[in-house]
Structure 1
């Protein structure tokens, strides 16, 4: 799982969008050629936090199940469930 940074919702510059779009045209014809994206200072697109899995318990501290313990691991049964 990865947590990512988001733009500030109350930013006065970008109104919470995270950046600005700039349309540009072809130099020769003047027709639309694409859109550039300029990020706002309130947001860092590359900021990410990776959540690491929790460590496992050492083998000596793991719970060992017996036939009497309903929560411990027991062998398989041939009994039907009904």
Structure 2
């Protein structure tokens, strides 16, 4: 098992400990699986892609280490409708 720390945002902000694919796996080359493209049976046109996970990795093996609290409203970035912009100043002339 090769573990790493990640930041998860769904269903809530948290730091999680998760498994990673084996970097020297001959089947997936360390990616963790393979994409398989498939087409429509009648027309043969592209219809989608399936993801087949490799045996060297379990993508569902994860543990929550620490829930991360939300920022207070007064610390959040201002939206795009703010006339002063994200940096706190305006490039418009004062008159």
**TM-score, normalising length from structure 1?**
0.60
Alignment partner for residue 52 of structure 2, among 31, 34, 38?
A: 38
Higher normalized strand content (fraction of residues): 2
Consecutive unaligned residues in structure 2, runs of 5 or more: 1-14, 68-95
Identify which of 65, 76, 79 aligns with 1:51. 65
Shift of 1:28: 1.0
Deviation beyond 4 Å, 4+ runs, structure 1: none
Residue in structure 1 matched with residue 19 of structure 2 by the alignment: 5
Q: Verify: 1:27 aligned to 2:41, yes or no.
A: yes
The separation in 2 between residues aligned to 1:23 and 1:46, in whole angstroms, is 23
Give unpaired runs (5+ residues) of structure 1.
54-82
- TM-score (structure 2 length as normaliser): 0.52
Distance (Å, rounded) in 2 between the aligned partners of 1:21 and 1:2: 26
Q: Which of the pair has more CA radius of gyration?
A: 1
